[in-house]
């Protein structure tokens, strides 16, 4: 969505409709252009470059706008950032490194919950293969399903869990 920056005080306006609403007695063309926006005392804000991140722990965080080579653009940084946590007396209660470790543990836990849910659904969808009548499956197919289901149950102990594990292949 396009943004505009008021030259006199730096106030940001988001979206063409919001910009047009600032001037209710003005008839605007359907599409605004930079020259028109400038004539009303505003700068066009271009979308700035975003840093590359390493998911799942890093994300892009907007950090306002900045002027680059005479043009205003959005400014981004990698996030989140971590700082020491202090009590009211200024004593450090947890370091930035401890806060980052706790954050990563929460991210891992949230991802693992989703992956376990997916795994549980796959187990439920294959319960029929373990019934007494085995759904008419041959013994060799029952063995394939038993192996598949064991692999699903073992996923939380697999290398790379919950980020880079591979789901076992469902028997055909």
Long-range contacts: 135-141, Cβ < 8 Å, 24+?
A: 141/171
The answer as to whether 163 is a domain residue is no
Percent of residues, the chain, with pLDDT higher than 90: 86
The answer as to whether 171 is a domain residue is no
The answer as to whether 162 is a domain residue is no
pLDDT tens, 6-63? 999 999 999 999 999 999 999 999 999 999 999 999 999 999 999 999 989 999 999 9
* Number of domains comprising the chain: 2
Q: Do 36 and 97 belong to one domain? A: no
Q: Do 74 and 110 belong to one domain? A: no
- Cβ neighbourhood burial of 69 (10 Å; 0-12, 13-18, 19+): exposed
Q: What's the confidence (pLDDT) of residue 133?
A: 80
Please say if the pLDDT value at position 2 is more than 70: yes
pLDDT grade for 114, boundaries at 50, 70 and 90: very high
CA distance 57 to 103: 8
Q: What's the confidence (pLDDT) of residue 131?
A: 87
Among 79, 105, 134, give the residue marking a domain's end.
Answer: 79
* Contacts for 96 with CB less than 8 Å, ≥ 6 apart: 82, 83, 84
Q: Do 17 and 68 belong to one domain? A: yes
Q: What's the confidence (pLDDT) of residue 135?
A: 67
Domain, as residue range, for 141: 85-157
Q: What's the confidence (pLDDT) of residue 165?
A: 85
Among 79, 110, 126, give the residue marking a domain's end.
Answer: 79
| pTM of the predicted protein model | 0.63
Q: Do 37 and 63 belong to one domain? A: yes
Among 44, 79, 114, give the residue marking a domain's end.
Answer: 79
Q: Do 67 and 89 belong to one domain? A: no
């Amino acid at each position: 969505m396009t943004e505009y920056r008021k030259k006199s005080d730096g106030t940001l306006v988001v979206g063409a409709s919001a910009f047009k609403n600032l001037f209710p007695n003005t008839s605007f063309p359907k599409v605004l252009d930079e020259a028109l926006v400038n004539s009303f005392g505003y700068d066009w804000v271009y979308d700035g470059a975003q840093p590359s991140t390493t998911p799942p722990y890093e994300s892009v965080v907007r950090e306002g706008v900045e002027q680059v080579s005479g043009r205003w653009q959005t400014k981004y940084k990698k996030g989140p950032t971590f700082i020491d946590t202090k009590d009211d007396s200024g004593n450090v209660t947890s370091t930035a490194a401890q806060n980052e470790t706790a954050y990563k543990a929460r991210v891992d836990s949230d991802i693992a919950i989703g992956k376990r849910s997916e795994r549980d659904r796959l187990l439920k969808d294959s319960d029929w293969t373990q019934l007494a009548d085995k759904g008419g499956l041959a013994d060799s197919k029952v063995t394939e399903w038993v192996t598949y289901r064991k692999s699903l149950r073992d996923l939380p102990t697999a290398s790379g869990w919950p980020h880079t594990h591979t789901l076992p292949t469902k028997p055909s």
